[in-house]
Structure 1
Amino acid sequence: MTVSVLVVDDSGFFRKRLTEILTASGQITVVGAATNGREGVELAQKLKPDVITMDYEMPVMDGISAVREIMAKQATPVLMFSSLTYEGARVTLDALEAGAVDFLPKNFEEIARDTSQLQNVLINRVLDIAKSQPRARAAITPRKPAVPVQRTAIAPQAERAAARTAPQPKRHETAGTNPARRSVSKTPARQYSVVGIGTSTGGPVALQKVLSVLPASFPAPIVLVQHMPASFTPAFAERLNKLCEIEVRQAEDGDLLQPGLALLAPGGKQMMIENRGGRGRVRILPGDERLNYRPCVDVTFGSLARSFPGKTLGIILTGMGADGREGCRMMKQGGAVVWSQDEETSVIYGMPMAVATAGLSDEVLPLNDVGLRLIEGVS
């Protein structure tokens, strides 16, 4: 079965080259091409492609507006093309929040050179996101107060108590005995030295949903590993920090882990956590070219397993591949707790499935429950 693709781009050269690469795979058929976002929306409704590739800067209607309208009218997996700049990162994050599934850098020189590696990345990415579950996104309102709030000594305890007694949504229950699909009993609330969260495709929006519900007084440090280019992680950390009551920033070498602080692994590098007298300290290392992912969830989670055995909570959210499985295995061997996102709410059910089917998940949770379970389960 071939995957049908609609190409939306105002560059005639890019449309032609993209069509040639995708068609040459033998697994993909380009069913149409549009020169602007408005044409893209109209052709998406008419042709009903399996995947849409989308530029972000176009006349008549830009790519982000087109993605929003497509998701509202004919939800379809969208692969965005963006520049590897700070502004490109900001626009791409807007597109992902609007409903795009994933992105690739728009590098005309690489495409013109026709490298086999580039072709394989492009073809495999299109085939992978064809299996995804696109949805219209609800905008997340920034939660940082305009003026710093002075808290009394009892405020953190009061906040946690209020959060735990707030109405909770029904937890997802799935029939069957497949460990990758069933809901697992809740693990008891406990203290953790650190919470680690790993994710890839669909992760930027998933992390926004999870972290934006946490109170500023969240009692454990958090480390985040999102597969993302080096030029994107600073903009992503800034966005998360504006949306959340906890502090979020890109990790730097030597940072100390602190309650209520989430540190995002920098793109293109590896983040490890060391135990220095009972406190976690960040080590940022150059990205090893032998590893597929930079940053890599397995690397960070493996360091957590060694530094804080039995005192970590590992969470694997939506993403392609199996990164995080071996790190979670190391955590579990030391007595740690692991949660994974369920299939129904994952954009790509790859990484969480790998963890769940390996029998490593203590809980399998829908995305909307993860933040609430953190408030409830971390003391």
Structure 2
Amino acid sequence: MVVDDSAVVRGLIAKWLGDDPAVEVVATASNGEMALKNLAAADPEIVVLDIEMPVMDGLTALPKILEHSSEIQVLMSSTLTKRNAEISMRALSMGAADYVSKPESTREVTTSLSFQQELVGKVVNLAAARRLQKGGKVYKAGKSSSLNEDILPQVSSRGAIAKRKMSSTLPRIIGVGSSTGGPQALLKFLNSVKDELRLPILITQHMPPAFTNILAEHLARASGLPCKQAEDGDVIHTGHVYVAPGDYHMIVVNEGGKKIIRLNQDPPVNFCRPAVDPLFASLAGTFGSAVLGVILTGMGHDGLKGSQDIVDAGGTIIAQDEATSIVWGMPGAVSQAGLCSAVLPLDDIGAKVIDITTGEAL
């Protein structure tokens, strides 16, 4: 379902999506109220939801759409102003699966190939990931020009997950990786550890530059923790939270006896920059066995190699379970690789992290 108050933009998006063999546009609507009236009859898998609309805007409609069905994934669409980026962040924290940045003018929308490709790609791959996660059929590559099988969850086998023994070393740092559905999961995670947090937390969330600083500010306000977008040369402090900036990999190095954050623009890893693998690899190299890695909801398998590095160094990995993940790609990859010491519902991860960091889990 496509929801946008501009008839031109609504028609273009519907045409672009309909041109992909993997997509059927089941309905369009000019505002949130009309979308809600059509939900039951249309039964969409994904709703592309504009933010600024008359009668009922996207932020008002979002929780009502999710209340109608927890199976619907909502892709927010908004112009990339600071105000709309902040609104999009609120939408993500409320349960929207992802977002796409829309050009500011209708004329730019009609000519922006990058917007078209990003929007169609996210719709196709979100739907494919959810179908695969639920055991359904997915379009094969070649039938959809926008399907990227390299980032789909690798969860075709549902065998028992092998668990590793917890590291006997108390962690001195926590690394967190997340992607699709991450902002909401990160907020829940930080709120569940904030009262007993005694370690620094470094977060890599797949996001563009305009969003990561807003994400850090949002997490700081909502959790009360000292949280910031990382800067090159930051000295890591206990109890502080650092978010990798968009378009930069974040790593940690030991310089003069201090643990320092370094940022770089090395090539994307797993199609991402920032990526989880470089962060986790640097934590393993700098802290050895004293690393706790947490993999939250996300598409693809970023974090798999880095988690292997942490485990090889003697550290511990825990992951979000399939039932509570928007997309069980990243956590599914590390779980099925046998790298995790625990695979838990999101609401239980914070308590486990506190147990591990205080030695109660040993």
- Place the TM-score, normalised by the shorter chain, in its bin: 0.7 to 0.9
Correspondent of 1:205 among 180, 184, 203: 184
Aligned residues: 328
Correspondent of 2:7 among 2, 12, 33: 12
Correspondent of 1:258 among 234, 237, 241: 237
Distance (Å, rounded) in 1 between the aligned partners of 2:227 and 2:12: 39
Structure 1: gaps (5+ residues): 1-5, 134-175
Distance (Å, rounded) in 1 between the aligned partners of 2:242 and 2:10: 39
Q: Where is the helix percentage greater, Structure 1 or Structure 2?
A: 2
Does the 8 Å contact 1:324/1:355 carry over to 2?
yes
> Which residue of the partner structure matches residue 83 of structure 1?
79
Q: TM (normalized to structure 1)?
A: 0.81
Structure 1 runs of 4+ with >6 Å offset: none
SS, match of residue 225 in structure 1? strand
Q: Which residue identity does 1:100 align to in structure 2?
A: A
Correspondent of 2:212 among 233, 254, 257: 233
Does the 8 Å contact 1:328/1:355 carry over to 2?
yes
SS, match of residue 223 in structure 1? strand
Distance (Å, rounded) in 2 between the aligned partners of 1:47 and 1:291: 35
SS, match of residue 198 in structure 1? strand
Correspondent of 1:48 among 37, 40, 43: 43
Correspondent of 2:328 among 326, 349, 352: 349
- Map 1:14-33 onto structure 2 (within 5 A): 14-33=9-28
SS, match of residue 52 in structure 2? coil
Matched, 1:178 2:160: yes
Correspondent of 1:105 among 97, 101, 107: 101
TM-superposed deviation, 1:308: 1.5
Q: Which residue identity does 1:98 align to in structure 2?
A: M
Distance (Å, rounded) in 2 between the aligned partners of 1:249 and 1:221: 12
Does the 8 Å contact 2:2/2:28 carry over to 1?
yes
> Which residue of the partner structure matches residue 123 of structure 1?
120
Tell me: CA distance 1:277–1:338, structure 2 relative to 1, closer, same or farther (3 Å): farther
Q: Percent identical across equivalent pairs?
A: 37
- Map 1:1-379 onto structure 2 (within 5 A): 6-75=1-70, 76-107=72-103, 111-113=109-111, 115=113, 118-130=115-127, 131-132=129-130, 177-179=159-161, 184=163, 187=166, 190-216=169-195, 218-286=197-265, 288=267, 292-379=271-358
- When the two chains are superposed, the root-mean-square deviation of aligned CA atoms in Å is 2.1
Does the 8 Å contact 1:45/1:74 carry over to 2?
no
TM-superposed deviation, 1:216: 5.0
Distance (Å, rounded) in 2 between the aligned partners of 1:126 and 1:186: 39
